[in-house]
Structure 1
Amino acid sequence: MYEKILVAIDTSTIGDRVFDTALKLAKIGNSNLMLVHILSEEAEESPISFWPMNIGYDPEMMKEYHQLWEKFEKECLQMLQSKASAAKDVGFQTEFTQVRGNPGREICKLAQEWSANLIVMGRRGHSVFSELVLGSVSNYVIHRAHCSVHVVQD
C-alpha cells in the first residue's frame, strides 16, 4: 500500500493520535516511517507563543528566551526519539528528523526529498476565520504535497 509514510508530529495530544494512526496505517503495508517535527515560532507550544511582546530589547531577557528555546528544542527531539524507538520496538524501520522553519513548507519539502507515499498529520480544528487569517498547516500540505495526505482531526 504505502511504502514510506512521513509522520508530522508535535508535542500536543493530537501528535500522539497522529503517531498512533500512522502506526496502524504502517501495519497494513509494512511501511517505513519518517517522524518529523518542525520547530517553528508559530507553533502553539513554542516558547515565543507565551513570551511577552511588549518588552524592549533586554540582553538578560533575550538570554532567557534562548535558553527556553534550547530547552524546547531538546524536549521535542526527545519526544521524536521516544516515538521512533516505540515504532522500532514494534518492528517498523523508522527514521526521525527535526528542522526549523515554516511547518507546511518543510513538511512538503521533506516528503518530496524522502519520496514519501503518504503524509500523516493532524489538524487542530481552528475556526474558519482563524484559518483564513493565520492559515492552516494541514490545508497548505493538502494542496501542495506531491503525495496523499491523511489528516487526523482533533
Structure 2
Amino acid sequence: MFHKILVALDTSIIGRSVFEEALALAKAVQANLTLLHVLSSEEEGSPDISLLSSPEYYLGLGMSIKILEMQQKQWEKFANQGLEMLRSLAEEATNSDVSTEFTQQLGNPGRTICEFARNGKYDLIVIGHRGRSGLFELFLGSVSNYVLHHASCSVLTVQRPVNASKTEAAQLGEVAPSI
C-alpha cells in the first residue's frame, strides 16, 4: 500500500484537483504527503528568467540594470507565490490529520519530480494532466507524460475536470477563447 505520497503541484487551475485527490487518498490509506512545486520558466504564468541566466552578458550589450532588477523581482514574487500555495495546502492537509511537508525546488519539472521521488523512496506520485495531445503535447511537452515514463514508483494522474468551462479550458491552453 502507499505510505509516502509525493504530490507534484503547479499554480495552474488543475493544481487544486490534484491536491484534493492526493489528500483524499492519503486520508483513506493513512499515508504521509509531501507537496512539491518545481520552479521553472516552463510553468504557465512564470516570468521570463532568460535574462537572469547570464546578466553580465546582457549588461555588456547595454541592457539597463533596472530591467534585470525588475526581472529578478518578478521571479522572487513568483517563487513566493509558490511557497505560499504550498504553505496553505500543507496547513489544510495537516488540519485534516494528514502528516504533510512541502518543498519548492528549481529545475526541469519532469526530471526534478522523478529524481525527488526516487531519492525520497516515495510509493506514489500524484500529478495533474491537462489532457493536451497532438501538436500541443509535441511542441509544449508534457510533464505528466515524462513522469509516467520515468518515475521509479506508481503514478496517479489527475485529469482536468470534464465539466470545465470553455474559459477554464482556454486558461489551460487547450482551446482558443471565444471572441
Do both share a fold (TM > 0.5)?
Answer: yes
- Return the alpha-carbon distance in structure 2 between the equivalents of residues 139 and 57 of structure 1: 38
- Return the alpha-carbon distance in structure 1 between the equivalents of residues 63 and 154 of structure 2: 45
Q: Which residue of 2 aligns with 1:68?
A: 74
Larger radius of gyration: 2
Q: Which runs of 5+ in 1 are unaligned?
A: none
TM-score, with structure 2 as normaliser:
0.79
- Return the alpha-carbon distance in structure 2 between the equivalents of residues 35 and 57 of structure 1: 38
**Does 2:31 align with 1:25?**
no
Query: CA shift at 1:80, angstroms?
Result: 0.2
- Return the alpha-carbon distance in structure 2 between the equivalents of residues 141 and 84 of structure 1: 23
Q: Which residue of 2 aligns with 1:150?
A: 156
Percent identical pairs in the alignment equals: 51
- Return the alpha-carbon distance in structure 1 between the equivalents of residues 132 and 95 of structure 2: 34
TM-score, with structure 1 as normaliser:
0.92
Q: Which residue of 2 aligns with 1:99?
A: 105
Misfit runs of 4+, over 4 Å: none
Query: CA shift at 1:116, angstroms?
Result: 0.7
Aligned-residue CA RMSD (Å) = 1.6
Q: Which residue of 1 aligns with 2:135?
A: 129
How many residue pairs match? The answer is 149
Query: CA shift at 1:139, angstroms?
Result: 0.5
- Deviation track 1:41-72 (CA, whole Å, cap 9, x = no partner) reads 011120129x9xxxx83321111111010011
